Structure 1
Amino acid sequence: MTVSNGTLIKIAAWGGVILSTTGFILQNSLVHRVRGFDYYKTALKKLRQHPGAVHYLGEPIKDRGFKLSDTENNCSDGRNARFSIPVSGPKDRGTYYFWAVRENDEWTLTRAELELKSKPDARLIIHQ
């Protein structure tokens, strides 16, 4: 029994759709999970309360989806975390970089910086 090329193409296309959808769902669920971690919430709270960030970005400051596949900038091993998060407000947008350390079951933000699209050669220190 032979299968026509048209049938094989349809099977491959549906396989691609299913694989892509599954990858998208898994990526979004992992990003959602990271957004619930203490270090992430603390870092975003610091950004939203920083007068300089509010001045340049405007309110409300929103975090946008980040890529977990970018393991150079977005990773956590249970003791150390570092992330590069796209953020935006009504006035501007940029990238929020933060680093955190876990000591005695508590996460501490060690550094946070905001790089604006309108000023790519400078970073605003949010926490040091």
Structure 2
Amino acid sequence: MRVSTSQLQQLAIFTTVFTGGGIGTMYYLQQKTFTQSDYHRLALLKLEECPIAMESLGAPPLRVYNIHLTDRYNCIDPQRAQIKIPVTGSKTGGYLYTSSIRDPDTNRWILKQAVLKLREGQTIDLVNPPPLAAAQISTETGDWH
């Protein structure tokens, strides 16, 4: 049985489109899994709570992008998550470097490190914010320490 060249071309095109669609779907689902995870959500909440970091970015609006799946910094296993989240505001952008561990007793993620590194080279530790940020947060909530 002979197969014509046009049939082979159609099969190649169909296979390419089907494979590309499958890869695109897998990429989308993987990114959705990251953005819905507690370790991702906790890091972004910590960023949004730091007025110095938000002001440095020019946020709001804060734009959060997909993590780069090929970046070697990103490493996730059942007990530990380390990710680098690209973020931008109206002034500048940078990366939010995070590290979280899963508490074996509660099975919940605990944010251990969250550091914003801006394009200009400025670094802001979000877990242990600078004294000015801590003072600003205290005055906004009414806590005087």
| TM-score, scaled relative to structure 2 | 0.76
Q: How far 1:101 sits from its partner (Å)?
A: 0.8
Offset at 1:98?
Answer: 0.3
User: 1:85 aligns to what?
Assistant: 85
Q: How does 1:27-42 map to 2 (within 5 A)?
A: 27-42=27-42
Q: Could you tell me how far apart the structure 1 residues matched to 2:113 and 2:31 are?
A: 21
Q: Report which of the two structures shows the higher radius of gyration computed on alpha carbons.
A: 2
CA offset at residue 25 of structure 1? 1.1
Distance 1:39 1:80 in 2: 9
Aligned residue among 95, 106, 109 for 2:108: 106
User: Deviation digits for residues 34-65 of structure 1, max 9, x if unmatched?
Assistant: 21121111111001111222111121212111
Counterpart contact for 1:68–1:75, Cα < 8 Å:
no
Aligned to 2:56: 56
Question: SS at the partner of 1:78?
Answer: coil
Q: 1:90 & 1:7 partners in 2: Cα distance?
A: 52
**Higher strand share goes to which structure?**
1
Structure 2 counterpart SS, 1:14: helix
Give the corresponding residue for 1:115: 117
How many corresponding residue pairs? 125
1:43 corresponds in structure 2 to 43
Question: What root-mean-square deviation, in Å, do the aligned CA atoms of Structure 1 and Structure 2 show?
Answer: 1.7
Residues 99 and 111 in structure 1, CA contact (< 8 A), matched pair in contact too: yes
Deviation per CA, 1:53-105, whole angstroms, max 9, x where unpaired? 211112121211113343x2222211100001111111111111100011121
CA distance in 1, matches of 2:29, 2:122: 33
The TM-score with structure 1 as length reference comes to 0.85
How far apart in 1 are the matches of 2:17 and 2:68? 20
Q: Provide the rounded CA distance (Å) in 1 between the counterparts of 2:68 and 2:6.
A: 35
Gaps of 5+ in 1: none
For 1:75 and 1:18, how far apart are their aligned partners in 2?
29
Gaps of 5+ in 2: 129-145
Identity of aligned residues (%): 29
